[in-house]
Amino acid sequence: MSTFTAPKGTYDLLPPSSATFLAIRERLSAPLRRSGYGYIETPVFEDIKLFSRGVGESTDIVSKEMYSLTTKGGDELGLRPEGTASVVRATLQANLHKLGNLPVKLWYSGSFYRYERAQKGRYRQFAQIGAEAIGAEDPALDAEVIILADDAFRSLGLSNYQLLLNSLGDKQCRPVYRTALVDFLAGLDLDEDTRRRAEINPLRVLDDKRQSVQDQLVDAPMLRDFLCEECKAYDEQVRALLTAAGVAFVDDPKLVRGLDYYTRTTFEFVHGGLGAQSAIGGGGRYDGLSEMLGGPALPSVGWGLGVDRTFLAMEAEGIVLDLPATTSVYAVALGEEAKNVLFGKVTELRRAGIATDLAFGVKTIKNAMKSADRSGARFALVAGDRDLAAGVVQLKDMTTGEQIPVELEALVTTLKEKQL
């Protein structure tokens, strides 16, 4: 055993679970790739002010959970706690919004970092698939990203989840609500840290998960009662489009999510089998983020779906994906001369697109065939000096046990005919 272990709040992604994680990433991103979203990668660390300005200084993410570091040159950097601010920064830096094709539709996949209390479903390094549609204000765009997320979850077989939906209004109607909420919160018994948060962004108090706080918020004013006519109409159109597409949702007037940049449409997917850490994804509209980062007005909408949480949700529902075997053919050589020949054939098979492995090291035929069985291979290639002298290898079907000789020169063709 190693002297070292993975840092607290992290884990090693190992086979065979890693194959499922790769499949989850593939299926969560597939609807985006079919819908005009281009792939983007951004650095895992950024100027720390990008997050304090974009995500919000009042958020726990920035004030308590962000990993920060100072470079040797004195620059203050932060490991990215979420993806949206970086994607908008990259869009502005590369002037993608000036290419004349708005919205700029992007998707990403990667790891993110938050110093949180480590527990199952809440990790300090976690994986997400994200989508951002930058530069258009359109209820149909909000509906599109939500539908794509719902389609992604359903492609994995998930069913025990709900879509929570709310509207946070805009710069016209939210200040009125903010005043009413501040007045309400002033009369509550809140700790000093929560009061400080309420002064910066009182909506964040609604997102407080502590039961002692939630009990006091029962009679809190609801933002929906303060929405302007334009925001009401926008929200109704989003809901109508979701309903027409067969996407069910639950109205949640207290849903604000954890980031300061959200406006209007806000949503979250929660799973019934995950306990307290029930969110498997979410997002919303963020019309003012570009301006917060020094760019022009670029109304935008997007989401992030948790790969780790989705994996746990699938476990909770007992979903096992039908994944292709990583090895289709396993080669077993009986002797060094046979190994040299089979090594060449293994390379040839791989170049022909057939997933092939070879028994390495000194193994008895019994142990080598056990390795072939554990590999999940459909066929085993077995060859000794006598086989090679005859110009053949033995092809064994690992399911039926049937074994037939195949000419060396016909090996690739024979296996391709078996649809490998």
Q: Are 173 and 227 in contact (CB under 8 A)?
A: yes
Q: Is 83 one of the annotated binding-site residues?
A: yes
Does 82 count as an annotated binding residue?
yes
330 is in an annotated binding site: no
Q: What are phi and psi of 331, to 5 degrees?
A: -95, 130
Does the annotation list 174 as a binding residue?
no
Residues 61 and 54: their CA atoms lie apart, in Å, by: 11
| Cα-based angle 23, 133, 311 (whole degrees, multiple of 5) | 25
Nearest by Cα to 257 from 275, 270, 245, 248: 270
Which tokens belong to 21?
A: 């994680």
CB neighbour list of residue 281: distance below 8 Å, 6 or more residues apart: 149, 153, 268, 269, 303, 304, 305, 306, 309, 310
Residue 286 known to bind ligand:
no
Can you read off the two tokens belonging to residue 157?
């077989």
217 DSSP 8-state letter: G
Residue 161 known to bind ligand: no
Residues facing residue 283 across a β-bridge: 267, 303
Is residue 334 within a helix (H) or strand (E), and if so which, with residue range?
strand 329-334
Q: Provide the token pair at 48.
A: 């720390």
Bond before 31 cis per omega within 30 degrees: no
Question: How far apart, in whole angstroms, are the C-alpha atoms of residue 413 and residue 69?
Answer: 56
> Is 132 annotated for ligand binding?
yes
Using alpha carbons, select from 52, 114, 60, 107 the residue that is nearest to residue 82: 114
Annotated binding residues for L-histidine, written as ranges, equal 82-84, 114, 128, 132, 257, 261-262
Annotated binding residues, written as ranges, equal 82-84, 114, 128, 132, 257, 261-262
